[in-house]
Amino acid sequence: MARKITRNAKKSIRKRDAHNIRLIKMLVSLLFVAAAFLAGFALRGNDVVVDRLGLDDSSADSSQNPGLTVSGNTYDSLSARVAEIQGILSSESLDTYSLDTATENVLKALADSTDDSYLRYYDEPHYSAYLKEMSATYAGVGILFAESDGQAYAVDIFSGSEAEAAGVQTGDFVVAIDGDRGTDGWTAAEVVKQVSRDRGSSVVLTFRRPASLDAEGGDEFTVTLTCSDYSEPNVTTELVDGVGYIKLAQITQNADTLVETAVNSLAAEGAKSFVLDLRDNPGGYLTQAVDIASLFVGSGTIVNIQTKASTSTRTATGSVATTLPLVVLVNGNTASTSEVIAGALQDTDRAVIVGERTMGKGSVQSVVELSFGGALRYTSAYYSTPKGYAIDSSGISPDVVVADNASEDGDEQLNLALETARSLETV
């Protein structure tokens, strides 16, 4: 019986030893895997050792994206994201792309994704249009163009022009030029460039006529116009029953001198009050707008200018031309720096504003040349009135509202403005 127990005991010992050997082998295998894993970290990024071992280093620098073109976090940088894709395409893709076309498409998509309707990339040919200075003399098709939300429209039709005869009206938006609708519509500068052609040449313009300046849709119509030299005075004057009427078409480089001359001339003729007509005025130079407002305001703030860095002010120059009563006439096409004038004269209680709410284009667009050619236009500042009221998207609300409805009695807005000016003479 004792020998049988001993034999069973030996058999049990052998089983236990075999089990322990298997456990030891498994432990050694795990230790080997761990050692290899740690060795991989030790060799990771060590190009010399990796090369000697004949291995490929598949690690990437944590400060670089997979495109290996820029450093930094691609989650907060558009340029880094584009560079990553460009790097991958350059190193691995079998396809090719046009750099100029890609640039235009990418920047157009960037512009469309912002709330800045004036943001636009211009290639070199289009950029040349911005290098032209504003002038009271216009060569082209007899239309003064302005811009609303980045789209060109007719703000004035020259009297006696072919455009007037063809039925083009104020507020008509340019849709196409010679059948070309443009990549993103047409800006005022682009239209001016396209219609400034040799005398006698023709241009085909397609317009859209909306119900109002800010309305969508509208019927389209096409006209063929012959380019010619058109000249229209920037300032026109008239003495109407003791009221000095001054119409300012644009705020050009010499607009303040023209307005001052008109004021002095009308005062010499016996004007007892004034009407400054800024209807359909698309604006222009801010310095000139400040100087024009200063002809009527002796001191104080004319306009506040908000940029990304700070807020600054422009104050009256002290060059007052008259203290006689003043009415400013505006409409929905009164825009930009002409709104600055109206807002300054209203906030300082210097003038009564008559007409319709202005366009609300109280922003400044800057054009910056790009190192690879062309330029970028973007909104760099906003205007507000002396009391701090924002002009952009809001406009200037008249003190006396009257719609632009022509009747048998003539220009109702102008008639009311003249009547208001005369009533102020006795105040």
Show which residues are catalytic: 336, 347, 361
Tell me if residue 151 falls in helix, strand or coil.
strand
Distance CA 26, CA 20 (A): 10
Taking the C-alpha atoms of residue 38 and residue 16, their distance in angstroms, rounded to an integer, is: 33
| Cα 339 from Cα 344, distance rounded (Å) | 8
The answer to whether 215 and 155 are in contact (CB under 8 A) is: no
The residue type found at 52 is: R
**Helix axes of 286-294 and 337-347: crossing angle, nearest 10 degrees:** 30
Asked whether the beta carbons of 379 and 363 are under 8 A apart, the reply is yes
Q: How many CB atoms lie within 10 A of CB 308?
A: 6
Contact call for residues 254 and 287 (beta carbons, < 8 A):
no
Q: Which of 343, 330, 350 is CA-nearest to residue 391? A: 343
Nearest by Cα to 418 from 392, 394, 400: 400
Residue 241 burial (10 A CB sphere; 0-12, 13-18, 19+): exposed
**Half-sphere exposure of 97 toward its Cβ, with a 13 Å CA cutoff?**
14
Residue type for 292, please?
Answer: I
Distance CA 193, CA 132 (A): 9
Tokens read off for 397: 């609300």
Phi, psi of 208 (to 5 degrees): -120, 130
Contact 351, 326 (CB under 8 A): yes
Kindly state the helix (H) or strand (E) to which residue 414 belongs, with its residue range. Answer: helix 412-424
